[in-house]
Amino acid sequence: MRARRFKIGLVMAIVVVALVVVMSAVTVSVNSNSKSYTFTAHPAFATTTTIPSIADVAEKVLPSVVNIASSRLVKAHGGWPFSDPFFRHFFGHRKPPEHMQRGLGSGVILEVNGIVVVVTNNHVVEKADEIKVKLSDGREFEAKVVGTDPKSDLAVLKLKGASKLKPLKPGDSARLRLGDIVLAVGNPFGLEQTVTMGIVSAKGRANLRIVDYEDFIQTDAAINPGNSGGALVDMNGHLVGINTAILSRSGGYQGIGFAIPTNMARPILSSLLKLGKVVRGYLGVMIQDVDDDLSKAMKLPGYKGVLVSDTVADAPARKAGIRRGDFIVKVNGQSVPTASKLRNLIASLGSKRRVSIDLYRDGKKKTISVVLGELPSQQATVGADKKSSGMRLGELTPETRRKYNIPSRVREGIVVEDLDPSGKAAQVGLRPGDVILRANRVTLHNVRRFSQIYAKAKGRMLLLVYRDGSTIFLLLPK
């Protein structure tokens, strides 16, 4: 009996000692000057962790985030009766009314290739006639667009006459983990120097159809209209993303925002400054994601890879021996579990790069070496001045087919991707998603051919246009 009591007493003593050790394992000290909280572990644990103050991080970041105001002159076109020849006959030519369209956004001061610039979203400054940038200290400068990349929604600006700018230090977005605390800094609704806090909700978000190349950081830090182009920073005050879009039914914050990772943005910004354009790698394959059912039907080794549905003639993939039905799992040792991952990775590697591609063919693993080409230009602007036709055209590609739901039976033509509402193309009835099959009775296979015909045309061009399952003729004036 005594032995039993002794054992129980010994166990209770051990438990009490353990609780004392745990309770004394952490001591807390508060430094009111630095506003930081230091948790010092018991010597038995021998570690020290410091949690930065959110106020300190915000104070460090705010001087590097700017307000961007853009403006452009827009002519009214819809319903303007005097554009009709009948009314012009009786009332003469009258110019449509004009109004100034203004936009607000945010930007981040960065040092890229040794040059201090402002980085923002392309949609913040697109088509702007005038751009003004206001710094956190109240100074205001005119800005010039150095380069834009609509495919990733990035733009680079230079400030005229600016000095003593404070670039933000870029961080490594690949090191972000789900649950990490992040701050979104920008100018929502024109309210300057606004800071919101949240966490990283997800990484690698794609197929949202916001832009062509997507690998977004998802966050619940409040992002609203006007935050576009602003900074997403970690708790070290380092830039980890450029805030770009929100998922919302109301148009305002509903808990889901998206940012372009700095690791994705860095080579794009560098290329824009060096070359004035973005040079992306090109493999020349049609690819698709694979689910469990398709994997079983094709006897693939799982479904964490990308299926090659076709290859492009004379493209790097076909020349290197990649075939339809190949199942790509890695590029340069890096896993590519989805089509968007493969596409983004190939694009980021650039042209003239030799890469190693691991794939499965008929159940056997192969490694194929490929020298990447340069992604062909898929869009061009026809007539950039105010007297132009005012439309942006793109090649007929798998991406544009999916975006505009163009059927496979439409084998040739070029796609209308965007229109200036005041341009001639919009006035004659062309719409985004239209496929121009012929121009002056010449079949079109690329944008370059259209540009040649447009340059030689006199007066008006006869267009054959595919739209919603049928074709129509339109006359486009020069």
Task: Say yes or no: 43 and 72 in one domain.
Answer: no
pLDDT at 38 over 60: no
What percent of the chain lies above the pLDDT cut of 70?
81
Residues paired with 281 in a beta bridge: 374
Round to whole Å and give the CA distance between 10 and 16.
10
Q: How many CB atoms lie within 10 A of CB 258?
A: 24
| DSSP class of 283 | -
Active-site residue, from 106, 152, 228, 389: 228
Is residue 271 located within the same domain as residue 288? no
The per-residue pLDDT for range 239-262, each reduced to its tens digit, is: 999 999 988 777 778 889 999 999
Report the pLDDT value the prediction gives residue 5, as an integer from 0 to 100.
63
The mean pLDDT value for 223-251 works out to: 92
Dump strand ranges (E) for 4-153.
26-31, 36-41, 48-51, 65-75, 98-112, 115-120, 130-134, 140-149
pLDDT of residue 18: 56
Same domain for 148 and 271? Answer: yes
Residue pair 391/425 in contact by the 8 Å Cβ criterion: yes
The domain boundary, picked from 374, 393, 412, lies at 374
Same domain, 122 and 263: yes
SS3 for 356? strand
Q: Phi and psi of 305, rounded to 5°? A: -170, -170
Burial of 476 (0-12, 13-18, 19+ CB in 10 A): buried
Among 265, 156, 267, 176, which Cα is nearest to 217's? 176
Cα–Cα distance, 136 to 67 (Å, whole number) = 8
Does 153 participate in catalysis according to the annotation?
Answer: yes
Q: Render 151-201 in DSSP notation, one character per residue.
A: TTTEEEEEETT--S--PPPB--GGG--TT-EEEEEE-GGG-SSEEEEEEEE
| pLDDT at 42 (0 to 100) | 45
Q: Which of 144-148, 174-178, 398-402 has the lowest mean pLDDT?
A: 398-402
Residue 17: band (very low, low, confident or very high) from pLDDT cuts 50, 70, 90: low
Among the ranges given (168-182, 377-391, 430-444), the one the predictor scored with the smallest mean pLDDT: 377-391
Predicted local confidence at residue 292, as pLDDT: 83
Give the pLDDT band (50/70/90) at residue 366: very high
Q: Tokens representing 340?
A: 């968007």
Nearest to 253 by CA among 207, 204, 203, 191: 191
| 200 shares its domain with 251 | yes
Q: Considering only CA atoms, which of 303, 305, 281 is closest in space to residue 355? A: 281
Number of other CB atoms surrounding residue 318 within 10 Å: 18
Would you state the pLDDT for residue 384? 33
Q: Considering 374, 395, 422, which residue would you say is the last residue of a domain? A: 374
Q: How confident is the model at residue 15 (pLDDT cuts 50, 70, 90)?
A: low
Count of domains in the chain?
4
62 & 156 share domain: yes
Q: What b/e string do you get for 449-461 counting C-beta neighbours within 10 Å, with b at 16 or more? A: ebbeebeeeeeeb
227 and 360 belong to one structural domain: no
Residues found in the chain: 478
- Both 325 and 390 in a single domain? no
The domain of 190 spans: 53-276
Same domain for 119 and 268? yes
Q: What is the pLDDT of residue 8?
A: 62
What value does the mean pLDDT take over residues 316-337? 94
Same domain, 333 and 443: no
64, 70, 106, 123: the active-site residue: 123
Q: Tokens for 411, please give them.
A: 């084998």
pLDDT tens-place string over residues 50-76? 667 899 999 999 999 999 998 876 555
Same domain assignment for residues 70 and 169: yes
Same domain? For 305 and 212 the reply is no
pLDDT tens per residue, range 418-463: 887 778 888 888 999 999 999 988 999 888 889 888 888 887 788 8
Nearest CA to 367 among 320, 325, 312, 303? 320
Residue 28 binned pLDDT confidence (cut-offs 50, 70, 90) = very low
Q: How confident is the model at residue 388 (pLDDT cuts 50, 70, 90)?
A: very low
Q: Looking at 64, 70, 149, 153, which residue is catalytic?
A: 153
- At residue 98, does pLDDT exceed 90? no
Instruction: Output DSSP code: residue 221.
Output: S
| pLDDT of amino acid 435 | 95
Question: Would you state the pLDDT for residue 244?
Answer: 95
In the numeric block, which tokens belong to residue 204? 């690698």
Domain boundary among 248, 276, 304: 276
Q: What is the mean pLDDT of the chain?
A: 83
137 belongs to the catalytic site: no
Per-residue pLDDT at 423: 80
- Which CATH number goes with the domain that contains 462? 2.30.42.10
Taking the C-alpha atoms of 93, 95, 96 and 102 in order, what is their torsion angle to the nearest 10 degrees?
170
Closest C-alpha among 287, 292, 291 to residue 327: 287
Confidence band for 203, pLDDT divided at 50, 70 and 90: very high
- The question of whether 228 is a catalytic residue gets the answer yes
Q: What is the CATH number of the domain that holds 113?
A: 2.40.10.120
